[in-house]
Amino acid sequence: MNKFELGITIIMMITSVVISKDKGIRMNDIALHPDYPVIENSYKMTNDWSVYLPGNFNRRIEDGSLVIWRPGLTIWTSIWNNDKKEPPAKRRDRVIQDASKDRFNEEYDDKDSLFYSYRLNEESDDKRVAAYYCFAFGENGHVQMAIYFDNEDDLKWARMIWKSLKEIKPTLKSSTEPEEK
């Protein structure tokens, strides 16, 4: 576990204890669906992208999307390659231009990758609150997530998951490592 993952784990452990007293999602002691794989912590979604999950989640592929969920919180994920070799900022600008005109609470962040998110009220028959759409743009592509949750207090979990998206950069072999034959 690297320093980033250790830091996130400590923060999530502290937050889980505090949040469990809230109305929001409890990240501990929750029954997941027994027929689907369980994933947790740093999860490698593809060769290019990983996400940090603050607890146990189920995973499935549905309609070509990676779906990560637990009771009260569902993440629909699409991961796009950068086949045209466009810079991350250009792809982010296009997503912003194409986003719903009804979006609100936009947020931008530029660190290792470019990040963009917004909220959107969608029609639904369930009790979910406004959806959280979020993106991370890197050199090799970008991640698009639609995160749905039932309680507004769980926005903090959605934001934490979004901010944990990391592009996996290829590492160069050191000169002391043997060549594969």
In whole angstroms, what is the distance from residue 147 CA to residue 19 CA?
A: 19
- Is 32 inside a domain boundary? yes
Query: In this predicted structure, what is the pLDDT of residue 29?
Result: 63
- Is 50 inside a domain boundary? yes
Write the CATH number for 34: 3.40.1000.10
Q: Which residues span the domain enclosing 88? A: 3-167
- Give the residues of the chain that fall short of pLDDT 50: 6-22, 174-179, 181
Query: In this predicted structure, what is the pLDDT of residue 23?
Result: 53
Query: In this predicted structure, what is the pLDDT of residue 20?
Result: 40
- Is 172 inside a domain boundary? no
CA-to-CA dists, residue 83 to 50, 113, 126, 174, angstroms: 19, 17, 37, 29
Q: How many domains does the chain have?
A: 1
Reported as half-sphere exposure (CB side, CA atoms, 13 A), residue 176 has a value of 0
**SS3 labels along 77-111:** EEEEECCCCCCHHHHHHHHHHHCCCCCEEEEEEEC
Query: In this predicted structure, what is the pLDDT of residue 123?
Result: 86
pTM (predicted TM-score): 0.79
> Are 82 and 60 contacting, i.e. CB atoms less than 8 angstroms apart?
no
- Is 178 inside a domain boundary? no
> Are 99 and 144 contacting, i.e. CB atoms less than 8 angstroms apart?
no
Query: In this predicted structure, what is the pLDDT of residue 4?
Result: 54
- The two tokens of residue 12 are 């999530």
Q: What is the pLDDT of residues 141-155, one digit of tens each?
A: 999 999 999 999 999
- Is 176 inside a domain boundary? no
Q: What is the DSSP string of 104-150?
A: EEEEEEESSSEEEEEEE----SS---SEEEEEEE-SSEEEEEEEEES
Query: In this predicted structure, what is the pLDDT of residue 149?
Result: 93
